[in-house]
A and B are shown apart, each in its own frame.
Chain A
Amino acid sequence: MTTSAWIFLTVSWTMVTFAAGWCLYRVVVRKPDDGPRPKGSA
């Protein structure tokens, strides 16, 4: 693989993996200061 291909692959993968991971973390594992989620709330 060429260096430019590596760069595009690494940057793209890192970006989307980090974004998806951060969002899922925030949704699944809520921070304590967010307070309790209302019961039955989606």
Chain B
Amino acid sequence: MTSKERWASRIGLVLAMAGNAIGLGNFLRFPRLAAQYGGGAFLIPYFIALIVFGIPLMWLEWSMGRFGGRYGHNTTAGMFHEMWKSRAAKFIGSLGISLPLLFAVFYTYVESWTLAYSCFSVTRSYTDDSPRNETKPEKQTKVPSHDGGETTTTRQFLQEYQGVAETENRRFFDSLWPAIAFWIVTIALNGWVISNGLSGGIERLAKIAMPLLFLFASVLAVRVLTYGTPDPAQPDRSVANGLNYIWQPNFSALADFKVWLMAAGQIFFTLSIGTGTIQCFASYLKPDDDCALTGLTTATTNEFAEVVLGGTIAIPMAVATFGVATTQSIAAEGSFNLGFVAMPVIFEEMTAGWIFGAMWFLLLFFAGITSSVGMFQPFVSLLQDKYGASRRTAAGICAAIMLGLGLPVVLWLKTGYMDQFDFWIGTFGLVVLALAEVVVFAWLYRPADPSKPDRRLAPGEGFWREMTHAAEIRIPGITYYLLRYFVPLALVTLLAGWTVQSFREAILLEGTPVEHQSYLWAARGCIVAVVVAVAVLVRFAGNRKSVEEESS
């Protein structure tokens, strides 16, 4: 192997993998989707998706990573090439490097909002009582909202921070510089963690951030459960009603195909499947390390964070403060509104709310940074292993790429530039890569038969041997059939479903203002350019290795 890095401990690996999986989606996206798509009934397609393709795909990615690490490959490009001797293998596999890198471009910006908001919580900047606002009482203004104006101030605060508010009547920010400053600090923090290496940086961060994340989430969950009915004059606004809102099953929703698509998409998103990061992390395992139990541990830890903690905090708190109808309209506007517009109002109305506010946003920041550092890792591994770059150089290059590619995300947020990344990378790309990896590993990978080296194993036999190798728990036999037959079909259906569902809006840009369309095409151009550039880097890495092999 070219890379000598290893995980320092098994629990460190579990925490790093769980940190990679537990992200903003656990605390913002899941509760919103559950509330919006059938309440408790949403959990039916959600758990079905988890069992029939979430966990099987997660096991496949872990074992693929361990397999690649055995041959000195830390990215899916090398892994695909090792399994499928085709010129196309490396290029398809290079998606496992370019997709997480592109994911990080917009993810680090959202992550920087959480860091900024934890500071704003302490300084109580997002309220009408903030010192700055007291000096500008004449600049009171209203922003359209669907909740009777209760979130008017925090909504305007977020819009001004993001630079999407009208330039006149600004109350909180005169420019985008605070957002840019926090974004640069976030990138610098990510770069610093990466530059300290796998065990010294990513694993150490996980060992500190993950316990803190669970501590903060538990404190907030207890606070929510003891919040009761904050306004006795409005008894319908209570935590019990909030929990009822999120868990009351609406079985008629199950007849809607979109609910199943959303549940399946959430499983992908939450387990970080199809990003290439699980394979990269698992490639640093030893050849005889367990994948089955360790992988399942990270998945179940992630589910605990999502279903128990994620489902307890934001939505029940919002219902207790705003009531069901208002929470519905807030949730319909998206996850960010729930986290950055509704939650600050709630904390303001609470005793010692600034402490809980800081905890909430720090919890989101920890969830974010433990995920984003993993997104850089495949690219860092490529630079280190194939181009001989040092950790610091690789981290510096990553930071420079983030600054270069991320600046349009920061500046053009209003145009929907970031949404293009979210759709093509965060929704579409993950499924494409997952489909490619299941086809390559479960269908095309045919290693030599250990008992008869001149013969090759039948398709599907090699991947099953690899998956069950050194397993500390028995992987159910049905997983073989799920991965070979059901999962590829389900992924094609998922891709087709999303394409049909979002064809006009996301692909043809129908309904998008004409003046914004050039920005969205620029985002698409950026995505294509990065995918091609990484494929070229992978190709040259391959050539270099070939020259070395020839000379030896």
Residue positions of A touching B, CB distance < 8 A: 1-2, 4-9, 12-13, 15-17, 19-20, 22-24, 26-28, 34, 37-38, 40-42
Contacts and interface: CB of A to CB of B under 8 A. Distances in A.
Contact of A5 (B8, B9, B13, B249): B249
A10 B178 CA distance: 43
Given A5-B248, A12-B43, A42-B285, A27 B10 contact: yes
Nearest to B238: A1
Contact of A27 (B8, B294, B303, B311): B294
13 contacts: A5-B244, A15-B47, A16-B304, A19-B304, A20-B304, A23-B296, A23-B301, A26-B293, A27-B293, A38-B288, A42-B8, A42-B12, A42-B289
Chain B binding surface SS class: helix
Contacts of A38: 286, 288
A-B CB proximity, top 6 nearest: A8-B40, A23-B297, A42-B7, A20-B300, A20-B304, A5-B247
Contact of A34 (B9, B304, B308, B472): B472
Contact of A16 (B243, B249, B308): B308
Contacts of B359: none
A8 B9 contact: no
B386 interface: no
B188 interface: no
A7 B6 CA distance: 44
A34 B8 CA distance: 20
B9 A42 contact: yes
Chain A binding surface SS class: helix
B39 A16 contact: no
B471 interface: no
Interface string B214-248: 00000000000000000000000000110110011
Interface in B446-474: 472-473
A28 to B, nearest CB: 6
A13 to B, nearest CB: 5
Nearest to A23: B297
Interface centre among B10, B39, B40, B240 (most CB of A within 10 A): B40
Interface in B280-339: 284-286, 288-289, 293-294, 296-297, 300-301, 303-304, 307-308, 311
B300 A23 contact: yes
Given A16-B304, A26-B473, 14 more contacts: A5-B249, A8-B43, A8-B247, A8-B249, A9-B247, A12-B43, A12-B247, A12-B311, A16-B300, A16-B307, A16-B308, A17-B308, A42-B9, A42-B294
B270 to A, nearest CB: 12
Interface of B: 6-14, 39-41, 43, 47, 240-241, 243-244, 247-249, 284-286, 288-289, 293-294, 296-297, 300-301, 303-304, 307-308, 311, 472-473
Contacts, number: 95
A38 B289 CA distance: 9
Contacts of B311: 12
Given A12-B43, A13-B308, A42-B10, A19 B303 contact: yes
B247 A20 contact: no
A30 to B, nearest CB: 9
Contacts of A42: 6-10, 12-13, 284-286, 289, 294
A21 B248 CA distance: 26
Nearest to A30: B472
A3 B40 CA distance: 12
B294 A41 contact: no
Given A19-B300, A24-B301, A40 B243 contact: no
Contacts of B303: 16, 19-20
A23 B43 contact: no
Contact of A40 (B6, B47, B240, B297): B6
Contacts of A28: 11
A27 B11 contact: yes
Contact of B286 (A7, A15, A41): A41
A24 B14 CA distance: 9
A42 to B, nearest CB: 4
A22 B307 CA distance: 17
A41 to B, nearest CB: 6
